[in-house]
Amino acid sequence: MRYNAQAQTESLYIHWPFCPYKCHFCPFVALAGQDAHMGRYHESIKKELIRFSEEQVNPVPLKTIYIGGGTPSTWPDELLLDTFDTLKHTFDMRSISEITIEANPGTVRLEQIAVWQKAGITRISVGVQSLNDVVLQNLNRKQSAAQVRQLIQQLAGNFSSVSIDIIIGLPGVSDQEWRELIHELISWPIQHVSMYFLSVHEGTPLYFRVARSQITLPPDDETVDLYYWSVATLASGGFEQYETSSFARPGWASQHNQVYWDRKPFKGVGIGAWSFDGEARIQNEKNIQIYMQAQEDGRDVICSAELVTEEAARLETLMLGLRRNKGVLISDVIEGLTEERQQLFFSRLEALEEKKLIQKEGQKIKLTPMSLALENEVSAHLSV
């Protein structure tokens, strides 16, 4: 299966997998200790970008680019600028409105800021996660609160938008520390916050340490309470929630993420990167050696591809839509359902409304403040 060359692609995701260390909770395609491959991998990325562009029926007018990882702030300056040269010569960049790069504290040099500006990067996403140095170091994340604060100040005013990622429910972070973090970040010169619940992914060192009772996770109900407190506190600090994990000062919602939530096509480049052409979800090969060899041979190499069935598309629309503040059109989530299934949907919807777990706004439905952390349960109940 190949990416549909006729898809109306306006967004690119580029994966830079190199990291200076491997965090114990990390589920991503991330490589520590393999920096020697950076140059060859960079050339492979360029090859994939060029081949993708040449295969498209129409020129690709890009609106958003997201460079994720891994730790893209380890991308050497001259190689990063070279990639942007390729992008500018390969794609129509006249309508570009957002280019994001992820950066981790402790990996950014002051002179990189000018390089990113020169490249045209508009948005920096900083991996903060926590300000508790001991907790982070126990999870093999080698950054300090001092580096976080320094980086935020260095970035301020140099880019249209600075976003931070934080993780709620990290073992060892007290409620008090978490509340202090939320209060502090409200005072930072940033435009966006992504707040994720800690997920313990099978196969990660964190998973094994939890399984062996070497680490105890905070109770779910306490974490959920803290989440609700954070939502309210961020709102009073000027950060509007526009998705269950996403908060922005007015006008600074992530444009790239909305492409994912709108189920619009996007092309992923690099190892393990996902693409969606409107009909199929396709993932690139995760093994860097196999990937680089394939690019040098002039071919794509994928590790999974799945046509999204009508049923699956409906479920995706429901799940992604409920998470958003603007909700999802009822007509979009019942389209194609038999009369009988529609009846079942509406009776379940009514029951959820009575329990105040769903709210209706005109022709749309969305989660309520009470069900923000129950998205999976509500979606499952409405998938008739």
Q: How far is the CB of 231 from ligand SF4 (least distance, A)?
A: 24
Contacts of residue 330, Cβ cutoff 8 Å, sequence gap at least 6 = 349, 363, 364, 365
Residue among 14, 52, 70, 194 that touches ligand SF4 (CB under 6 A): 70
Strand partners, 306: 281
Inter-residue contact 170 to 216 (CB < 8 Å): no
- Tell me which stretch binds ligand SF4 (CB under 6 A): 68-76, 181-189, 196-204, 318-326: 68-76
- Is 207 a binder of ligand SF4 (CB under 6 A)? no
The conformation of residue 266, written as its DSSP 8-state character, comes to: B
**In angstroms, what is the minimal distance from the CB of 29 to ligand SF4?**
8
Nearest to 11 by CA among 269, 253, 249: 269
Maximum separation of any 2 CA atoms in the chain, in Å: 63
* 215 is a contact residue toward ligand SF4 (CB under 6 A): no
Q: Is the CB of 23 or the CB of 185 nearer to ligand SF4? A: 23
Question: Is the bond preceding residue 70 a cis peptide, omega within 30 degrees?
Answer: yes
Cβ neighbour number for residue 204 with a 10 Å cutoff: 18
Does residue 268 touch ligand SF4 according to CB under 6 A? Answer: no
Window 2-31: contact mask with ligand SF4 (x via CB under 6 A): -----------------x--xx--x-x-x-
Residue for token pair 């994939």: 48
Does the footprint of ligand SF4 cover residue 69 (CB under 6 A)? yes
- We find the least distance from the C-beta atom of residue 67 to ligand SF4, in angstroms, to be 13
Residue type at 252?
W
Rounded to the nearest whole angstrom, what is the least distance from the CB of residue 109 to ligand SF4 in the complex? 17
Place of tokens 């619940």: 197
Q: With CA atoms as reference, report the closest residue to 356 among 346, 365, 343.
A: 365
CA 144 to chain centre: 23
Give the nearest distance from C-beta 167 to ligand SF4 in angstroms. Answer: 9
C-alpha separations of 70 from 133, 162, 181 in Å: 20, 18, 24
Say if residues 272 and 29 touch (Cβ distance below 8 Å). Answer: yes
Per-residue contact flags (x/-) with ligand SF4 for residues 115 to 154, judged by CB under 6 A: ------------x-------------x-------------
Q: Within positions 85 to 114, which residues make up the interface with ligand SF4, using CB under 6 A?
A: 104
Span 36-55, contacts to ligand SF4 by CB under 6 A: none
Indicate the residue among 19 and 382 with the shorter CB distance to ligand SF4: 19
What are the residues binding ligand SF4 (CB under 6 A)?
Answer: 19, 22-23, 26, 28, 30, 69-71, 104, 127, 141
